[in-house]
Chains A and B, each alone.
Chain A
């Protein structure tokens, strides 16, 4: 049972001080009931002030005024994490969407037409920045921009109901918290950092960012509930070549990974190697060495990645720009030697390509058995659900 500071009434505090101090200072004769009362009150106050509230209790209700809506991901209990690159902030928003619903394959055709109709714009004037499934309720959320200019309005939608009804997530009065990423956009200053990905694991969120000026690709580790602490790292990774290593390659997409109990990040970089990064090394300012575990081929842009288990074996599902969706085996990932030698195509972890799944721009897991995909075809955008392969 957790105490909330505000529940301890002032009268209790005063009564305690009165009894305790009176007994000590004024040397009033020892009264067992009074002493007992003062100690009980004392302990109650002590417990109220020392047990810190956690999770959703740290969020304060108010209006979330987004400047932009970028990547999204979910924490526990329906808490939505949203990156606002214009404000250089990450928001944690309590969606109050905690009622578990059965994992139901969801399909929405003509998603861009429907969103454009609700928002009152042309389909060419809206962008779906990200898709995430709330594991607490198995509902799909979309991070959307109404418009493509600098005054574009950020909106979060949730798919509600089997027919794929789209509902706006109201942000007028919600419990939320936010944290600044540092280097906020200053007036007259053109520097801005793009947030390329956010993921939550256990008690922290990881945020990947890329500056629009100096070549800086960061991976930040931020404890949640937010304490104001942000640890940033520049990552050195081995490329598939002669032991040379380079700094600061932009992270395209990443996912948390557990390797024999150790927390890691599995990241896909711009030069398309798949890299393992130990989380314990992501300290402020540290330059961390990642280990390349796969070369997935060039002319290819990794877009989104999730991990899952099928028949007790670990896999990663990755959406790519040119190669459809890849199913990568993560079995014995810790045994893969870091790829440092010049190598041919397809080195390291084994993978299969599901080439019939083309045009997948975003994906997320739905329960432990399915994946929801945002697919672009000549007809427009649609949401599809597949069984994890």
Chain B
């Protein structure tokens, strides 16, 4: 009866005596190991007992992606396994070199074992540009802001070299976009905000006089996103994306909600349609227009802005009731040139501040 119990230790003695090679595997992340673990098991007991401290462990088991320095992480020993838990989850697609060298312990002639392992990279689709706002073919000369929507999360830090404005000769317009250390992405990094240097728009400022404006009325331009623009998986667009633009005269007027046409919805779930006085900023239209009841209670729902950005449509979550409602434009609502309801973007100093209209009324009727 004792016989089976003796087999395991006897087997171990036989195995270590014969010097079977240690085995490497990467233990994927789990609850206890959030970054996974590099494990070398089957290490001879007589070797393990000779390891005195962490410092020696670090010399025996070295995991790295570059010969200059090993990865940040912690080492340990469990049973016959030497392990290394990296500080961060191993980056996909990068070759990791795992070096196990007992000779580091005692200078013995033992040969090092070297394994190479590349974490699997998930297959992702080729990224593309879904939309560029403002969508209209003709934009005002003093356009301040563009949004580029991508189909996948992209990498930050590449906009300066990889998005450009070309003139009608195909030549790049010098320094068209404002270069910021912190690129203006949304949290998911699928939308990039690009600003034209305000100094090249505002009237009577040095950069406008020295370098000239980015856009000139009457001319055509192209916004080009380079084919090398990469998503977060390192895949590039491939083909460059181009959008042609015609440039019209500058728009230097406040947004006037009183010039909007509000088409009241029908009970119960009719769409409220707001026909704007001019194209407005796409992102701001989605959150700066509020619908309220007469008592001031907000009406929750979803805004939709079709291409052209001259119309905004609202569908409520709960049904409309017959009666009067208010459409309240937010103070931050702008057009793509930065004009607001209370001021023009580059207002002259002597201009008096304007109090814009607080709300527009509309009546919901029903059959």
Determine, out of B174-182, B251-259, B261-269, B314-322, the stretch whose residues face the partner at the interface. Answer: B174-182
Q: Are A271 and B204 in contact (CB under 8 A)?
A: no
- Contact of A244 with B203 at beta-carbon distance under 8 Å, contacts A148-B157, A215-B345 already known: yes
Q: State in angstroms the CA–CA spacing of A85 and B156 once bound together.
A: 14
Could you write out 24 A-B pairs with CB less than 8 Å apart? A113-B68, A114-B68, A117-B64, A117-B67, A118-B70, A120-B71, A120-B86, A121-B65, A125-B91, A147-B232, A148-B156, A190-B187, A212-B186, A212-B193, A213-B281, A214-B284, A215-B198, A240-B205, A241-B204, A244-B346, A250-B198, A272-B207, A299-B174, A343-B206
Q: Are A298 and B91 in contact (CB under 8 A)?
A: no
Taking each of B72, B90, B175, B284, which has the highest tally of chain A beta carbons within 10 Å of its own beta carbon?
B72
- Residues in B neighbouring A137, C-beta threshold 8 A: none
- Residues in B neighbouring A235, C-beta threshold 8 A: none
- Residues in A neighbouring B209, C-beta threshold 8 A: 241, 342
Taking each of A114, A241, A243, which has the highest tally of chain B beta carbons within 10 Å of its own beta carbon?
A241
Q: In chain B between 134 and 175, which residues have their CB closer than 8 angstroms to a CB of chain A?
A: 144-145, 153-157, 174-175
- Residues in B neighbouring A246, C-beta threshold 8 A: 198, 202, 205, 346-347
**Binary interface encoding of chain A residues 149-163 relative to chain B, with 1 for a CB under 8 A from any of its CBs, else 0:** 111110000000000
Closest beta carbon of chain B to A132's beta carbon, Å: 14
* Chain B interface residues toward A at CB < 8 A: 64-72, 86-88, 90-91, 94, 96, 144-145, 153-157, 174-175, 178-189, 191, 193, 195, 197-199, 202-207, 209-211, 231-233, 281, 283-284, 287-288, 332-334, 338, 343, 345-349
- Contact of A210 with B184 at beta-carbon distance under 8 Å, contacts A239-B204, A241-B204 already known: yes
- Contact of A240 with B206 at beta-carbon distance under 8 Å, contacts A192-B185, A270-B197 already known: yes
Tell me what chain B mostly uses at the interface: helix, strand, loop, or mixed.
Answer: loop
- Residues in A neighbouring B64, C-beta threshold 8 A: 117, 120
Indicate which residue in B88, B204, B284, B346 contacts A120 across the interface (CB closer than 8 Å): B88
Q: State in angstroms the CA–CA spacing of A204 and B343 once bound together.
A: 32
Q: Determine the residue in chain A with the shortest Cβ distance to B71.
A: A120
Closest beta carbon of chain A to B92's beta carbon, Å: 10
Q: State in angstroms the CA–CA spacing of A121 and B72 once bound together.
A: 12
The 4 residue pairs across chains A and B that have the minimum distance between CB atoms: A149-B232, A271-B199, A194-B182, A117-B66
Q: Are B181 and A129 in contact (CB under 8 A)?
A: yes
- Contact of A270 with B205 at beta-carbon distance under 8 Å, contacts A86-B187, A116-B66, A121-B91 already known: no
Closest beta carbon of chain B to A285's beta carbon, Å: 11
- Residues in A neighbouring B191, C-beta threshold 8 A: 190
Q: In chain A between 125 and 143, which residues have their CB closer than 8 angstroms to a CB of chain B?
A: 125, 127, 129
Indicate which residue in B175, B180, B193 contacts A213 across the interface (CB closer than 8 Å): B193
A216 CB-CB contact with B under 8 Å: yes
Closest beta carbon of chain B to A211's beta carbon, Å: 8
Indicate which residue in B179, B204, B338 contacts A215 across the interface (CB closer than 8 Å): B338
Q: Are A194 and B184 in contact (CB under 8 A)?
A: yes
**Binary interface encoding of chain A residues 184-218 relative to chain B, with 1 for a CB under 8 A from any of its CBs, else 0:** 01000111101110000000000000101111100
A290 CB-CB contact with B under 8 Å: no
- Residues in B neighbouring A148, C-beta threshold 8 A: 155-157, 232
Taking each of B71, B207, B338, B347, which has the highest tally of chain A beta carbons within 10 Å of its own beta carbon?
B207
Q: Determine the residue in chain A with the shortest Cβ distance to B91.
A: A121
- Residues in A neighbouring B284, C-beta threshold 8 A: 213-214
**Binary interface encoding of chain A residues 241-267 relative to chain B, with 1 for a CB under 8 A from any of its CBs, else 0:** 111111101100000000000000000
A180 CB-CB contact with B under 8 Å: no
A364 CB-CB contact with B under 8 Å: no
Q: State in angstroms the CA–CA spacing of A388 and B153 once bound together.
A: 42
Q: State in angstroms the CA–CA spacing of A212 and B282 once bound together.
A: 12
Q: Chain A interface residue count: which class?
A: 35 or more
Q: State in angstroms the CA–CA spacing of A70 and B334 once bound together.
A: 28
Q: Are B206 and A295 in contact (CB under 8 A)?
A: yes
Q: State in angstroms the CA–CA spacing of A215 and B88 once bound together.
A: 37
Taking each of A110, A195, A212, A299, which has the highest tally of chain B beta carbons within 10 Å of its own beta carbon?
A212
Q: State in angstroms the CA–CA spacing of A117 and B332 once bound together.
A: 45
A316 CB-CB contact with B under 8 Å: no
Q: Determine the residue in chain A with the shortest Cβ distance to B331.
A: A214
A303 CB-CB contact with B under 8 Å: yes
Indicate which residue in B67, B70, B157, B232 contacts A150 across the interface (CB closer than 8 Å): B232
Q: State in angstroms the CA–CA spacing of A153 and B91 once bound together.
A: 11
A334 CB-CB contact with B under 8 Å: no
Q: Are A150 and B184 in contact (CB under 8 A)?
A: no
Q: Are B186 and A190 in contact (CB under 8 A)?
A: yes
Q: State in angstroms the CA–CA spacing of A303 and B88 once bound together.
A: 30
A44 CB-CB contact with B under 8 Å: no
Q: Are B72 and A215 in contact (CB under 8 A)?
A: no
Q: Determine the residue in chain B with the shortest Cβ distance to A321.
A: B179
